[in-house]
Amino acid sequence: MMKHPSAIAIVQAPPAFFVDPIESTFRDGLDVLLRVQSAAEIEVHMAALRGAPCIVFIDATNSLEFDLLRGLRKIGSRHVVVAIMNNPAVDDIVDALRFGIVDILDSSISDSARCRLAIDRASNGLQSMGKRPVLEDGSLRDAMLEPERRFIIAALEANNWNRLKTARQLKIDRTTLYKKMKQLQIAA
């Protein structure tokens, strides 16, 4: 397995998840591995990284904390999230993917190959973020997308991510809101 450039990972995982083969897979595939216990620690580390690209592995064995994911969005946009779930059901997976999580690891399966795949998918997600146009080299249209994205996210958060209420508040059609969310890569 090759190391990905600038692969920083913040890992909040259940203690049973880290067995020797899994831990060595993480250490081999990532430059920096920060193990944390709580969601608050994730936010502290991300704030300290000041927008540096990173992979965040969150413990969702009991439930997926959507408030945590919203908080991570506020901190920065140069990160991808992998959820660690306990026997995830189809509905759990669909909810996680809709919210922008790039991969899901089953905590009951200690498979180093599956962890490698999750790291690769997350790294690919980070690399695709780097391909966005830089404001200095982009067009005026490209430069206007980021403020529009922030505005829509703020409206969604004010309405507890209710898209119908958000569309009404923004005085646009719900379909238009869905299209803008897809265009601006806002997962709900």
What is the torsion angle, in degrees rounded to the nearest 10, for the CA atoms of residue 73, residue 76, residue 79 and residue 82? -30
Class of domain 8-129 (CATH, top level)? alpha beta
- CA distance to 130, 177, 178, per residue, from 172 (Å): 30, 7, 10
| Separation of alpha carbons 117 and 38, rounded Å | 25
Class of domain 140-183 (CATH, top level)? mainly alpha
Residues, the chain, total?
188
The model's pTM: 0.62
Domain spans, the chain: 8-129, 140-183
**Tens-digit pLDDT profile for residues 75-122:** 766 788 888 888 888 888 887 877 778 888 887 776 778 888 888 888
Same fold, 8-129 and 140-183: no
